[in-house]
Amino acid sequence: MIRRYCLFPLLIFPLFAAADRTTPTWKGPDRSVYVVTQNHYAEGYTPEGDTAKFGDLIAIEIFSPRGPKAEENPVYKIGEHIALFVGGQRQGEVRIKKVMPLQCDSSAALVSIDPSFHISKDIMALASNSAQIRPHPNSQRQGSEAERNYARQLAMNEFRKHALPATLAKSIKIDKLVVTKLGDVDSEFLVGSLSLVTKGAGHDLFLIVKIAESAATVEFARYHKTTDLEDGTDSEDVSFVDQLDLDGDGFDEIVVEVTGYENEEFAIYHRSNASCSQFILAARAAASFHRVIRSRDFRCA
């Protein structure tokens, strides 16, 4: 089976009050935000020219304060230097060398980086020149066995809400799990993706879990069920990209990549109230192909 993934990089822009005026809103930073990664999306030829090669370092604009329409291309300024962050920590800068087609009428910037710092194929970093950003030391680490067990237990609690029996707990697979601090508090957070497969369906879960005083509580959960296990036409995988305090409020936003059938997009999550468990999708994204505007918000119980 061959899939052609369409990545729409310029999908994310500020989410302002809509019909429900009580819905939390997020203005976002005053400059564009980019994901910096080795190209693993596409390589080949397009009517607009060659794409970047696999392994080339590229920058994809995922947020713009300009609020452009989804059909408009992002703006990359050749020669511009953009501050680079990994795990919230400043790591030099990238320089835009060239603008190249990506896929499905989208584009990306080919960038260079200081040779003293290397972005491996497993790392996705963030870049922005916004003055609002509050960098901090990178506290990301792999979860201990106890923390991984916490994640499995809490994931099973979420899966049970979708009529899955507790007997499946041993079948839960941890796809990616990071332990990190997200703000000026001592608490650490588990951020990761877990999944399990049952007869005729796949179940995927993205979790943000707060660890405090030897206890763990779910702050955010995003569940998806896939019924087409052969071709994955209804699949959705959410994976952690990186974290960064984009708006200077002292608490990091979380950037994720959402991969579906023949489409990919990025989303930014914002913790709108540090006193309660409340993460909101801080941007709205146009779904691939159909250009349908979607937004989600998650409120304290």
Residue type, 157: N
Which pairs from 153-158 meet CB under 8 Å and 24+ separation?
Answer: 154/207, 154/209, 154/216, 154/217, 154/218, 155/194, 155/205, 155/207, 157/218, 158/205, 158/207, 158/218, 158/221, 158/223
CA distances from 83 to 31, 33, 36, 244 (A): 11, 10, 11, 12
CA distance from start to end of the chain: 43
Question: What does the block give as tokens for 64?
Answer: 């713009």
CA distance 39 to 54: 5
What H or E segment, with its residue span, contains residue 159? helix 145-160
Q: What is the mean pLDDT of each run of 10 residues along the chain (301 residues)?
A: 42 36 70 94 86 94 75 81 98 96 85 92 95 97 93 97 96 96 89 96 96 85 96 96 95 93 88 60 42 30 31
State residue 181's pLDDT score: 96
- DSSP annotation of 23 reads S
Ranges of each domain in the chain:
6-128, 141-294
pTM of the prediction? 0.85
